[in-house]
Amino acid sequence: MKKVLVIMGSDSDLKVMEKCIDRLKSFDIPTEVRICSAHRTPAVAEQLAKNAAADGFGVIIAAAGKAAHLGGVLAAQTILPVIGVPMGTSVMGGMDSLLSIVQMPKGIPVATVAIDGADNAAILAAQMLALADEGLAAKLQQFKTDMANEVIAKDEKIRAQFA
CA geometry: angle 109, 95, 127, nearest 5 deg:
40
Decide if pLDDT at 12 tops 90. yes
Query: For 77-97, what is each residue's pLDDT tens digit?
Result: 999 999 999 999 998 999 999
Helix/strand/coil percentages in the chain, nearest 5: 50, 15, 30
Predicted TM-score (pTM) of the model is 0.96
Question: Model confidence at 67, in pLDDT bands (50, 70, 90)?
Answer: confident
Query: For 130-141, what is each residue's pLDDT tens digit?
Result: 999 999 999 999
Residue 41: per-residue pLDDT: 97
Decide if pLDDT at 54 tops 90. yes
Residue 157: burial class (beta carbons within 10 Å; 0-12, 13-18, 19+): exposed
Residue 91: per-residue pLDDT: 82
Residue 118: per-residue pLDDT: 98
* Average pLDDT of span 38-43: 96
